[in-house]
Amino acid sequence: MIRSRLRKTPVPGTRDSYTGIDFNLGYHIRHYRLELDYKVAPNHLRAVATLSLDNYQELKQLTLDLASHLRVTEVSARGIGAVEVTVARFRHANAKLRITFDDPIPVDQEFELTIRYSGNPRPVRSTWGTIGWEELSNGSLVASQPCGAHSWFPCDDTPDEKATYEFLITADSPYTVVANGALDSKSVKGSRTTWRYHTNHPMASYLATVQVGQYKLIELDGSKTPIHAYVPPAVIPGFRNDFADQGAMLELYSKLYGPYPFASYTVVVTEDELEIPLEAQGLSIFGANHAKGDKDWERLIAHELSHQWFGNSLGLAQWDDIWLNEGFACYSEWLWFEHSTGKTAAESAREHYDVLASKPQDLLLAAPGAKDMFDDRVYKRGALTVHALRVLLGDEAFFAMVRSYVAAGRHSVVEPIDLLREARRAAEAAGVAVDKLDALWDAWLKKTALPEFPQ
């Protein structure tokens, strides 16, 4: 069955107002197979991307996102079933790969595209700085939120187009390669090692990642879900102290939100220092400065883990709803400290409310705009909105509502209306007037003035 785009269907030729990227229309990518041959020292990539697609419009031509610093040398196509698909020509310019077919592809067909390309991958420029593939002092990392995936592979670089992935990554043998999903195999040939990973669940392109470094594998305990950590040897003592509660965090969130969405959780700590931790699906990336052994970054360790539910399993339909990711992730920090230290979420909420009250009241949570989508006010006002729902509904109804919301959107995409639907059901079941819920929703999401503190 071919699914159409979600509720806010873009008009052909328009662009995402947040990322500035023109929409790629007419098809869905269902699976990416990425064969990457990476040489670390020169930061050079030779790659073959095989994309499995189906189309909901007749296609004479389609576009993909791919950074212009990578050079495409060949594009071929293969129809699946009776349809024949052949490429007439392709053109790669201005971060768009345009592929024209000999004959139009009829609606509702399955086909594959194979794209050979090479070059020196590097971050792409964006409103929020450079994002994507980044060379480190001894390896590389990928951190693509919100639209840096096309810095290293051809894709549909938009959050609501999820697909499954297969990675076959060859790198110099002293290095460990970590990617999303399960490690299927590792084979050594001469001085090179090939690592093969696959994902079982669909993933947004910005959450796809490759981490290359000289790491030691550590298994963390404290959770029924396996937790793998890849850590530079020199950082291990500090890491063990700072991440000692990672398993307990995972168990708490599994209890509060429902089962952990993936088969395992992976933490990568780079040798380099990083300004902030970075999220990927099934995986979080921290810098050496986040694992010094002083417990200074405990809240961010909790924050990044919670994104596996909010952002990775429950993806976004569009970026103006980023508060759904970050609001729940910030509230998860407060819930962890409520559990581990006894400091209530209400106390944390009050502290951050007072800070917000001192800042400009010109941000609309429901549509913050590109410039402000990563503003701390989005994060904290989002968390306060979640807290306001908890206060209104009461703990029993609130956590039941969150679990229903998470279950309904599992491995899919969500919008605020999905959360509101579950909140209305919870309000009715708890005997809370729905008009109170609607007033709360409008005040926190649709008005710029800071509402009264929820209590």
Q: Which residues are annotated as a binding site for Zn(2+)?
A: 303, 307, 326
Both structure tokens of 101? 């077919």
For residue 364, give the 3-state DSSP assignment. coil
Q: Which two tokens stand for residue 60?
A: 């004479």
Q: Which amino acid is at 411?
A: H
Q: Is 222 left (phi over 0), alpha (psi -120 to 50) or beta?
A: left
CA distances for 428 relative to 94, 213, 408, 431, 435, angstroms: 52, 52, 18, 5, 11
Calculate the CA 441 to chain-centre distance: 25
Which residue ranges are tagged as binding site?
303, 307, 326
CA dist 30 to 53, 111, 283, Å?
6, 10, 21
* Catalytic residue set: 304, 379
Which neighbouring-strand residues pair with 213?
Answer: 176
Query: Do 191 and 230 form a contact (C-beta atoms < 8 A)?
Result: no
Structure tokens that stand for 328 in this block: 């729940």
Peptide bond into 106 cis (omega under 30): no
* C-beta separation of 200 from 159 below 8 A: no
